[in-house]
Amino acid sequence: MSKLRFVNSLLISTAICFFLPSIAARGGHSDYIHPGDGNSSFHGTARNLFAQEETRPSLELTRGYMTNDDLEKAMKDFTKRCSKISRLYSIGKSVNGFPLWVIEISDRPGEIEAEPAFKYIGNVHGDEPVGRELLLRLANWICDNYNKDPLAQMIVENVHLHIMPSLNPDGFSIRKRNNANNVDLNRDFPDQFFSFNEDLSLRQPETMAVMTWLRDIRFTASATLHGGALVANFPWDGTEDKRKYYYACPDDETFRFLARIYSKSHRNMSLSKEFEEGITNGASWYPIYGGMQDWNYIHGGCFELTLEISDNKWPRASELPTIWDYNRKSMLNLVASLVKTGVHGRIFSLDQGKPLPGLVVVKGINYTVKAHQRYADYHRLLAPGQKYEVTASSPGYKSKTTTVWLGENAVTADFILIPETSSRGNLLRSSCDCSCKSCGQPLLTQFFTETNNGITITLFVVVVFLCFLLQRRVRFNLWKQRQSSRRSITV
């Protein structure tokens, strides 16, 4: 590592330590001792991360966990065994050159569809390996059950699920929290309050890979898996004045809803004595800066949770089946929430009947969701049990607003936007190359004027029929996404 990179890392660590006298990982602290054997697990606390030397788990404790080579082979074997519903790809390489592998699970892997995408990331911190083990178990469970389990089938057919078991393979190989450059990857993202991470030349390759990944794929939601506590954490992670208190983001209600899905589906997370309902606002627990979670929400349009899935950072491998059993339903239900809840739909243009990339906003929530550039589909996650005023807009078209009651099931709301009118009240027209005097008139007006009544009536019938076909096309474009219980409206 260059002297400049080392000095920068030292300055960032010092700054964060100054901001936060007692700092943990999101994947950090535990005073819990596993029943039966007080020495059965590595109990790591990161609340004093920069104040003391990091304790590494013993080599003995790593037995039973997959090495990086084992994990790579297992992922390749998985995509061969489940080739019909999966593919394997890499988003980049770690500092030491190990590929950052991702499994995509879908009935049409590698294709762009008008469906939401979800990502799971494990092993952000090298000494928190439970997530990498559980994520491969998740992939295998879906592969084994998607033809017989309704939840697995729903995920495969309606979501593009991306699973990255290890973001920090270098840290894992040396059993340390940080990457090979000794940088905490969950403090390396651009921060909304402080600019110490703004120098792109000093960004870690693992961090850059994730940032590029979100530019290439539009994720609706995601979660990172950590260890050292048992709680579902949601934004904001930091505060503007560096103090510890509940600091809500614009979608606080929705994030609380998503966090509760995980917590209440878990065997005992919601029974926590430290965290009410097993969930917490990040800044209320302890503020961090440069975290992945807030960056995803602000810059990636992605609703991300930070999930602490085991009290022990590095439990014995013999405990992994139990931890998987405790987390399996939560992991599945969180992904399925993209289909079961929220407001989903597409935006079309009335004049051409084509998908229209646009923006979707909800009254009272200062956050904008972008529709996909190709299919103009949007997926707006919202807490159920409320009435929402949803508006779709696109440059050159009149915005449209509808009110939806979001109950227990998702709602499909497709928007058909009308072109804006000019100052004279006529529809905006495309340019044409002709010499006739009436070229500047709207096409239908010109035709009605210059034809006899019989042709006019025939044209009218044709136009009505085309409008009917357009309505049918819009209504059925999302047939694959809609569940039998989902209400559907067209605006």
Catalytic positions are: 308
For tokens 């590095």, what's the residue?
314
- Closest Cα to residue 426, out of 446, 412, 406? 446
Distance separating alpha carbons of residues 337 and 305, to the nearest angstrom: 13
Name residues whose C-beta falls within 8 Å of residue 159's C-beta, 6 or more positions apart in sequence. 106, 115, 116, 117, 118, 335, 336, 338, 339
- Number of Cβ within 10 Å of residue 486's Cβ equals 15
The Cα angle at residue 383 between residues 378 and 389, in degrees rounded to 5: 60
Burial class (CB in 10 A: 0-12, 13-18, 19+), 147: exposed
SS3 content of the chain, % helix, strand, coil (to 5): 35, 20, 40
Q: Which residues of 230-262 are buried (b: 16+ CB within 10 A; e: fewer)?
A: bbbbbbbbbbeeeeeeebebbbbebbbbbbbbb
Peptide bond into 479 cis (omega under 30): no
- Retrieve residue 229's tokens: 């506590």
Helix (H, G, I), strand (E, B) or coil at 477: coil
- Retrieve residue 55's tokens: 């304790």
Residue type, 413: A
Distance separating alpha carbons of residues 383 and 205, to the nearest angstrom: 35
